Amino acid sequence: MKNVLQITLAFLLALLIAGVIAGVFCFALIAAAASGSTPQIAKRSILTVDLSAPVSEKGGTPTPMDLLQGSTSMPIPAHELASALRHAATDKRVKAVLLHGGVSGSMSAIAAAREALLEVRAAQKPVLAYFGGLDEKTLWFASAADELWMEPLDVVVVDGFSAEIPYFGDLLAKYGIEVQVTRVGKYKSAVEPFLLGHMSAENREQMEAILADIQATMYGSLAAARDIDPARLEAVARDKGWLSSEEAVELGLVTKAAPFGELLARLKVVADVDDDEDLPQVAIEDYARAVRKKGPRGHGIQVLVAEGEIVDGSSSEGIGGDDLARALRAARLDDDVKAVVMRVDSPGGSATASDVIRREVLALRAAGKPVVVSMGSLAASGGYWISANADAIVAQPETLTGSIGVFGMLPNIEKLAENHGLRAEIVRTSPLGGVESLWRRKDEAQVARIQALVDRIYEQFLDLVAEGRRLPRERVHEIAQGRVWSGQRGLELGLVDELGGLDRAIELARTKAGLGAKAPVRFERREKELFEELLDAALAGRREPLARQLRGRADVAGEAWAALERVRRLVGTTGVVARLPFDFEVR
């Protein structure tokens, strides 16, 4: 009884302490919000851009759990980041732009920001960049600057591109765990890691082709910006991999290697402030908030973002099929919306949810409202399913697209259980019952029935692509097979219409809808909850230091958790899946 009482008191004390901490935290947020206001932009300000927090298509305020885990994200979406930079090009209060800290996020999410930086340079405003070490993505982004500086003792990594895909087949077999699969397409390798202990020749073939396309695109763009022969970059990747700061300057990748204090002195000259004065600065997040405009009204274009895994129903993470379908339906019924641009950055997911979205795309077109898809880093499998019937598809050269194929996964632990003396007895009214059970291996009749359903959905996938892309069905089958293509190859194969970013897709939508160049473009903006508003106010003006503190807490455990979560999503899917066969990030 005494022990029970002690445990109860300890539990109540823990709740009390947690409540006090939560109360203090909320009070601090409320106080910060009360004292906060729209950021003021001083004259001769330096606009600072730190993209260490990952840039995404939607943006987002970190939750308390995110903060505790050390994960942050850029609070403003990619399109607003680019818009703020373009605004700075003509803003007399901004004297120059400084890139620093880091560059994180998908290539497609930061590509528009890079293009906007070129507009800042064209407006005769200096763009300077200062980084410690640089990798190829950072080099590519920072090549938009007039000058690229770096720490003298750090290195520049130019070692090509690689992809790592863990294979669990041998491990699962060792412990008596089996995964039965149903699939279509020799390249549908999403299930490979659960069946094999090594990569198949087909998967290696497509991975090598994708990486070669990405390297050619990035090296070509980087070389053009820095006036370097792409062959020299390829030679560095092949023979050295890492460059000292002196070597990087000699090659022309970096303008200067010097302490940050020297660059700071240069910025004070640019801003026309004395050495003993503070340098006027404004962070890009706060600047974007200060120059944000209310959504324009009148006949125009609605931009909808489809980012993440496609799931059935509604979802606070990824793409809920019902959520996106509802947004498309609202655009169809809104008389002010004359065209829709759907920004797709998705590896796919549920075939059912994908088709729910596709039907709303068709309904928009039937209502006389053009739909243009702008592909981000990923628009594959289900991501291509929801795109195929648009009026036009615009992809970026490094976009991963295609992966026209479907699969199903049926894991079981029958052997593992038997090895440990466990057995589950199943009572059923039909010989096909219990197909979702983990305790039994599926018999031939069950697998055959599920394979028939997978085949049926694959045939439908071929039909909708052939119809949407106006290609012979035999040709679609030839380039399908679950194979993943780059945006560049997708253009050659007819899977996409043009190469370009979101701006080009908007331009196409204007033309197809017969709208003028000044027709308003509206982006969906999710209404923030009260807590998010308070947190956003509390972090205003202090995001960069906070982000630096939190980023230092990222560790291998976080990456391992993310990998396990991806496995859980795949194995835990009960329906037929149309998904990219791997998770992909350019590093």
Catalytic positions, written as ranges: 188, 381
How far is the C-alpha of 461 from the C-alpha of 455, rounded, in Å? Answer: 10
How far is the C-alpha of 574 from the C-alpha of 427, rounded, in Å? Answer: 21
- Give bridge partners of residue 484 from the DSSP assignment: 402
For 81, 265, 307, 391, the CA distances from 501, given in Å and listed in that order, are 14, 36, 15, 16
For 125, 333, 334, the CA distances from 297, given in Å and listed in that order, are 32, 15, 12
Classify residue 491 by burial, with Cβ atoms within 10 Å: 0-12, 13-18, 19+.
buried
Of 509, 105, 104, residue with least CA distance to 304 = 509
Max CA separation in the chain (angstroms) = 86
How far is the C-alpha of 264 from the C-alpha of 275, rounded, in Å? Answer: 10
How far is the C-alpha of 31 from the C-alpha of 26, rounded, in Å? Answer: 9
For residues 97 and 120, is the Cβ–Cβ distance under 8 A?
yes
For residues 496 and 490, is the Cβ–Cβ distance under 8 A?
yes
Q: From the CA atom positions of the chain, what is the Rg in Å? A: 26
Q: What are phi and psi of 481, to 5 degrees?
A: 60, 20
Return the beta strands (E) in 194-322 as ranges.
241-244, 256-257, 281-283, 300-307, 310-311, 319-320
For residues 511 and 427, is the Cβ–Cβ distance under 8 A?
no
Sheet of 407-412, strand order: 178-183, 407-412, 577-579, 348-350, 310-311, 319-320
Amino acid at 484: V
* Residue 450: other Cβ atoms inside 10 A: 20
How far is the C-alpha of 53 from the C-alpha of 504, rounded, in Å? Answer: 26
How many CA atoms, within 13 angstroms, populate the side-chain half-sphere of residue 266? 18
